[in-house]
Amino acid sequence: MGDLTSKTVLLFFSNKKRVLQLDYDPSIFLNNLYRLTSFQCSLSCNMVGIHNGQPKQMGLKELLQGIVVGLDNLDAVIRILRESSSNAIASSGLRSGELP
């Protein structure tokens, strides 16, 4: 941590010292940060959900729709989970369509 009461802040990019004024344009700063560092990177993920009892690769929209259904019926989901004596019973209760 540096003392930010002065007019300049020193940043280090790729072993090169650069001086940044506090009134520096934030968009220029971010563009330089993305260009000179690995701050911005891409990431791939394998999104798998359960559909009809089988694992299936799904898009983000499909997974989010499933989460919304669960949240819309949260009270029923909690009731089924609390009343179930085992994981298998809870799982079959959630799949059986007891949700409103």
Tens of pLDDT, residue by residue over 18-51, are 555 556 677 887 788 788 887 767 778 888 888 8
- In order of 17, 37, 63, the CA distances from 51 in angstroms are 53, 40, 10
7 DSSP assignment: S
Intra-chain end-to-end CA distance of the chain, in Å: 54
Supply the pLDDT for residue 70.
84
Long-range contacts of 13-22 (CB under 8 A, 24+ apart): 13/37
Supply the pLDDT for residue 14.
46
Supply the pLDDT for residue 35.
82
pLDDT at 17 over 70: no
Supply the pLDDT for residue 56.
92
Supply the pLDDT for residue 57.
92
Supply the pLDDT for residue 98.
62
Contact 60, 47 (CB under 8 A): yes
Q: Tens of pLDDT along 71-94?
A: 998 998 899 999 999 999 988 888
Q: Where are the domains of the chain?
A: 48-96
Q: Rounded distance, CA 86 to CA 94, Å?
A: 12
DSSP secondary structure, 32-59, as one string: HHHHHSSSS-------EEEETTEEEE--
